[in-house]
Structure 1
Amino acid sequence: MIIGVPKEIKNNENRVGLTPAGVAELRKHHHTVYVQASAGVGSGFQDAEYEQAGAVVLPTIADVYAQAEMIIKVKEPIQEEYALIREGQLLFTYFHFASSEELTHAMIERKATCLAYETVERADRSLPLLVPMSEVAGRMAPQEGAKYLEKPLKGRGILLGGVPGVKPAHVLVLGGGIVGTQAAKVAAGLGAQVTIMDISLNRLRELDDIMPKNVVTVYSNEYNIREAIKTADLIVGAVLIPGAKAPHLITRDMLKTMKAGTVLVDVAVDQGGCIETCKPTTHEDPTFIIDDIVHYCVANMPGAVPYTSTLALTNATLPYAVKIANLGWQEACRQNSDLRLGLNVVNGEVVYKGVAEAWNLPLVSVDSVLEPAHV
């Protein structure tokens, strides 16, 4: 298979879809890999390293798209890339279609085949290609929140861990999954008082067993959320419904009950956000203020630590990429149920329920787009 790795052009996105080690692995299986010049520089990988691993370095993004049967990326294509995508071309990347109607319609119009990292799902309901970036974003959330709690950045002027004689900040984490767990660990490690809320009692029991004493668990419902936000200094939104829009757990009217300078970090923003007033921001301009509440809603948080993020992501994606390249996407999806669930759009038809429901689009059965294997 011919594989293309373009340079990410989303604002301050320094990750890359494939490392030189990944190129070497694909070359072992006799696949051709084209990498755009300087695609890996932001993550610490030079063009010469890709060439030594067996890739062909091409000068422009248009060259890469024109040559490749499968594009391996990190973030969804942005408007400048839409026209480069060919009918039937496979894109293997994060899409988060349920948060962008424009992107969804663009991929339908281009008749692309979109295999989304975030909906590749194992039988145990775990999301192997979302987990590494959820771990990074979860650990970053208290780090970013602590920074924006500083008064010069319009926060409350509170040190997350406090000092002897002065109580620490109160951190509220909405969601006890990967992001929430990592956020709570880091916040607790910095000395904050942490509350995690979730709707799963079993998950709350697990968290209660493994978390330190400065972390408490509370069942998540609207009443409890409304009470908790009154005393929170930092709120981390960490709610995920795979492939679908996140529910709004904090609504606009709730902001008025918070303390001025409270910081909201909505890690779910790339799936529509679990805080109603959040809209995607960038590393270049990460925050905005509504009703004296600081909103941090960067949609690609792990892009700020690209070396760590690229290695963590490609550790997870490479085995799947090799399988797709070896078998072709149709046969790979027939043989591997994880990948089958990753299919969101196939040749311009929506095959993932969460995406169809988000934008009221016709849903086509995956079976109908996976042609039977030839005997």
Structure 2
Amino acid sequence: MQIGCPKEIKPQEFRVGLTPAAAAEAAAHGHQVLVEAGAGLGAGFPDEDYLAAGARIAPDAAAIYGDCDLIVKVKEPQPAERAMLRRGQVLFAYLHLAPDPEQARDLLACGVTAIAYETVTDARGALPLLAPMSEVAGRLAPQVGAWALQKANGGRGVLLGGVPGVGPANVLIIGGGVVGAAAARVAVGMGANVTVMDRSLPRLSWLDDNFMGKLATRHASAAATAELVQAADMVVGAVLVPGAATPKLLSRAALATMPRGAVLVDVAIDQGGCFETSRPTTHQDPIYEVDGVIHYCVANMPGAVARTSTQALGNATLPFLLALADKGWRRALVDDAHLRAGLSTHEGQLTSPPVGEALGMAAITPDQLLAG
């Protein structure tokens, strides 16, 4: 099979969909690998590394989309990229379709078979291709929040860990999953006063056991959220509904109760965000202010640490990539229910019911598609 890896064109996105190590594995399986010139430079992988791995270098994206059967990316295809996709081609990438009706319509119109990293599952019901980037974004969240808290950036001028005689910042993390736990680990390490909220009592118990009293846990409710945000210097939104739009857990009215210069870090912005006032931003222009509260809503946070992120993502995606290339998409999905859960569109048919519900579109399940 001809596997293609284009250069990412989303603003300030430095990751790449295929590492040289993954290209070498695919080549060893007998596949042809085509990488766009300069695609890996942002992650520290020059074209020479791909050539040494057995890949070929394409002069531009048109050569990738025109010649390759399987397109491997990081972020969702931008409008110019979607115009080059076609029926009979497989796209393997993060898609986040629930808050993006325009992308959904374009993928359906071009007929591509699109498989979303973020809804591929594993035997534990977890999301193995989302988890590495959730770890990265979670660990980044307190760092970028601490930066936004600096007075020069519009924040309260509060040091996350405090100093002797002056207390630390109050950090509220909404969601105790992969993102929330990773954010808590860094925030605790920076000396902040950390509280994590979650609806799952077993998850709260796990957090309490693993952090050994170094953070507080609270069962998530509207009342508890309203109480805790009033004293929060930083709130990290770390909730996820797989494949679906994120619920709005903090209203604009709640902002009025927060300290002026407090910071919101919305890690869930890829799925629409979990704060009513959230809107996507970029690394180039990452923050904005609403009612005196600073918002950090960068939609591709892991792109800031592109080399680490690319390697972590490549480790996770490689087995699935090889299965798609070795077997073809249909056999690979028939053989693996977890990969099958990632199927989002095929030849004009939406195959993700959560996306269909979010966008008001008709959808069938991947199982129904394959049975048909």
Check 1:198–1:368 CA distance in 2 against 1; reply closer, same or farther (3 A cut): closer
Q: Would you say 1:249 and 2:244 are equivalent positions?
A: no
Equivalent residues in 2 for 1:231-242, closer than 5 Å? 231-242=231-242
Helix, strand or coil at the partner of 1:115: strand
- Closer/same/farther in 2, CA of residues 256 and 344 from structure 1, 3 Å limit: same
- How do residues 71-86 of structure 1 correspond to structure 2 at under 5 angstroms? 71-86=71-86
Contact 2:252–2:277 (8 Å) recurs in 1 = yes
Q: Any conservation in 2 of the 1:188–1:212 contact (CA below 8 Å)?
A: no
In structure 1, distance between residues paired with 2:89 and 2:285: 33
Amino acid corresponding to residue 317 of structure 1 in structure 2: T
The alignment partner of 2:256 has SS state of helix
Give the aligned partner of residue 177 of structure 1.
177
Q: Which amino acid letter does the alignment assign opposite residue 293 of structure 2?
A: I
Residue identity in the other structure for 1:346: H
The Cα offsets for residues 107-133 of structure 1, whole Å up to 9 and x where unpaired, read as: 111111110000001131110000000
Residue 215 of structure 2 aligns with an amino acid whose one-letter code is V
Look up the match of 1:56: 56
Q: Aligned equivalents of 1:157 and 1:250: distance in 2?
A: 23
Q: Partner of 2:136 in structure 1? A: 136
- Report deviation, 1:214: 3.3
The residue aligned with 2:153 is 153
Q: Aligned pairs, how many?
A: 372
Shift of 1:212: 4.3
Matched with 1:165 is 165
Measured in 1, the distance between the counterparts of 2:211 and 2:247 equals: 26
> Residue in 2 aligned with 1:313?
313
CA distance in 2, matches of 1:228, 1:349: 44
**Is 1:21 aligned with 2:28?**
no
Q: How far did 1:77 drift?
A: 0.2
User: 1-side partners of 2:144 and 2:362: how far apart?
Assistant: 40
* Mapped partners of 1:282, 1:48: distance in 2: 30
Q: Summarize the alignment of residues 29-44 of structure 1 with structure 2, pairs less than 5 Å apart.
A: 29-44=29-44
Give me the TM-score of the superposition, normalised by structure 1: 0.98
Alpha-carbon separation, structure 2, partners of 1:241 and 1:366: 18
In 1, Cα distance between equivalents of 2:274 and 2:369: 33
Answer whether contact 1:3 1:68 (CA < 8 A) is retained: yes
Corresponding residue for 1:103? 103
What is the TM-score normalised by the length of structure 2? Answer: 0.99
**Once the two structures are superposed, what CA deviation does each residue of 1:135-161 show, in whole Å capped at 9, x if it has no partner?**
000000000000000000000000000
Partners in 2 of 1:190 and 1:2 — Cα distance? 46
Match of residue 271 from structure 1 = 271
SS at match of 1:257: coil
Please state whether the residue corresponding to 1:302 is helix, strand or coil.
Answer: helix
How much has 1:252 moved relative to structure 2?
1.0
| AA aligned opposite 1:360 | G
The structural deviation recorded for 1:94 is 0.2
Q: Within 1, Cα distance between the matches of 2:320 and 2:140?
A: 27
Q: Name the CA shift for 1:190/1:8 in 2 (closer, same or farther; >3 Å).
A: same
Per the TM alignment, residue 347 of structure 1 is displaced from its structure 2 partner at its CA by: 1.3
| Paired AA for residue 306 in structure 2 | P
Contact 1:192 1:214 in 2 (8 A): no
* In structure 2, C-alpha distance between the alignment counterparts of 1:361 and 1:345, rounded to whole Å: 12
CA distance in 2 between counterparts of 1:281 and 1:212 reads 36
> d(CA) in 2 for partners of 1:3 and 1:118?
20
Residues 341-360 of structure 1 aligned to structure 2 (within 5 Å) = 341-360=341-360
State the AA in 2 paired with 1:145.
G
**Separation of aligned partners in 2, 1:232 and 1:364:** 42
* Aligned position for 2:46: 46
**8 A Cα contact 2:91 2:112, kept in partner:** yes
Q: Gaps spanning 5+ residues in structure 1: where?
A: none
Partner of 1:323: 323
Is residue 361 from structure 1 mapped to residue 367 from structure 2 by the alignment? no
State, as a whole percentage, how many aligned pairs show the same letter.
51
Secondary structure class of the residue paired with 1:320 = helix
1:227 counterpart residue number: 227
Distance, in Å, in 1 between the alignment partners of 2:111 and 2:165 is 62
Q: Which amino acid aligns with 1:90?
A: V
Offset, 1:79: 1.1
Counterpart of 1:187, as a letter, is: A
- Residue type of the alignment partner of 1:262: A
Q: Give the unaligned 5+ runs of structure 2.
A: none
The one-letter code of the counterpart of 2:145 is: G
Deviations along 1:56-91, one digit per CA (max 9) or x if unpaired, are: 101101111001101000000011112111113110
